[in-house]
Structure 1
Amino acid sequence: MTTARHLATIDLLRSRPFPGERSRSDVGDSGPGYHLAELATSEDFWEDRSRVELVAEQYEAERDALGVLLTARWGEPQIFSLWSVFRRGMDGEDIPEPWDGLSNHVPDLHLWRADGRWIALGVSQWDRELPFQLLAVITDTDPP
Structure 2
Amino acid sequence: MNIARHIALIDELCFRPFPAEHGPSDDGFGGPGHHVAVLETDDGPDGDPARRAVTVDRFEEDHDAVYEVLASRWGDTGPWNPRTGREETPEPWAWLAARAGAARVWEVQGTGRWVAVAVADRDPNDAIRLLAVVTKTPPP
TM-score with structure 2 setting the length: 0.90
- The aligned counterpart of 1:104 is 98
Residue 143 to residue 46, structure 1, CA distance change in 2 (3 Å): same
Specify the alignment match of 2:60 in structure 1. 60
1:117 is matched with 113
Match of 2:130 among 122, 134, 139: 134
* Structure 2, gaps ≥5 residues long: none
2:29, 2:37 within 8 Å by CA — same for their partners in 1? yes
How far, CA to CA, are the matches of 1:10 and 1:127 in structure 2?
Answer: 25
State how far apart, in whole Å, the 2-side matches of 1:68 and 1:29 are. 25
Q: Secondary structure at the residue paired with 2:36?
A: strand
**Per-residue deviation, 1:106:** 0.9
Question: AA paired with 1:96?
Answer: P
TM-score between the two structures when normalised by the length of structure 1: 0.87
Structure 1 stretches of at least 4 aligned residues deviating more than 3 Å after TM superposition: none
Moved more, 13-22 or 40-49: 40-49
Cross-structure match for 1:23? 23
Structure 1, unpaired ranges of 5+: none
Identity across the alignment (%) = 39
* Aligned-pair CA distance for 1:126: 4.8
1:104 and 1:140 mapped to 2: Cα distance? Answer: 19
Aligned 8 A contact 1:45 1:52 in 2: yes
The whole-number CA distance in structure 2 between the counterparts of 1:21 and 1:126 is 27
- Residue 44 of structure 2 is aligned to residue 44 of structure 1: yes
- 1:84 is displaced (CA, Å) by 3.4
CA RMSD of aligned residues (A): 1.6
CA distance in 2, matches of 1:117, 1:78: 18
Which residue of 2 is the match for residue 95 of structure 1? 89
Q: Is the 8 A contact 1:46 1:130 kept in 2?
A: no
Letter aligned with residue 62 of structure 1: D
Greater fraction of residues in helix? 1
Following TM superposition, by how much is the alpha carbon of 1:47 offset from its aligned partner in structure 2, in angstroms?
Answer: 4.3
Distance 2:104 2:89 in 1: 19
Amino acid at match of 2:69: L
